[in-house]
Amino acid sequence: NAGVTQTPKFQVLKTGQSMTLQCAQDMNHNSMYWYRQDPGMGLRLIYYSASEGTTDKGEVPNGYNVSRLNKREFSLRLESAAPSQTSVYFCASSRQGIYEQYFGPGTRLTVT
């Protein structure tokens, strides 16, 4: 089992460019999440998907869109990147309900 995988691991964008971060899990989990981690902060929730076909905003959704492509995959899209979106992005998954979340290795994104 690979667990939760994310691509790419690193990315540099220019202001205004767009990109999609990919996430996949092979644990048959219903729930998936996208977080960002900024220096000196814990993780903050961007969007989450409680099940295939549903998505909901988290604490910091502005500037992002998500797609729950199927049960395994949950992507995060930046339509027009801004320097304020420079961060490390984590994808996570869990069984539906209150259970521990399993995290991917993260994507370090820099927007210049």
Considering only residues 43 to 72 of the shown chain, the ones binding other proteins according to CB under 8 A are 43-45, 48, 50, 58
Site mask for other proteins (CB under 8 A), range 67-96, x = bound: ---------------------x-x-x-x-x
- Contact between 32 and 93 under an 8 Å Cβ cutoff? The reply is yes
Min dist. Cβ of residue 96 to other proteins (A): 7
Which tokens is 64 given? 């992002």
- Coil/strand/helix, residue 87: strand
How far is 110 from 11, CA to CA, in rounded Å? 6
Q: Which of 21, 6, 2 is nearest to 85 (CA)?
A: 21
Considering only residues 24 to 43 of the shown chain, the ones binding other proteins according to CB under 8 A are 31, 33, 40-43
Min dist. Cβ of residue 103 to other proteins (A): 4
Q: How far apart are the first and last CA of the chain?
A: 36
Min dist. Cβ of residue 29 to other proteins (A): 11
The distance of Cα 28 from the centroid of its chain, to the nearest Å, equals 17
Binding site for other proteins (CB under 8 A): 31, 33, 40-45, 48, 50, 58, 88, 90, 92, 94, 96-98, 100-103, 105-106
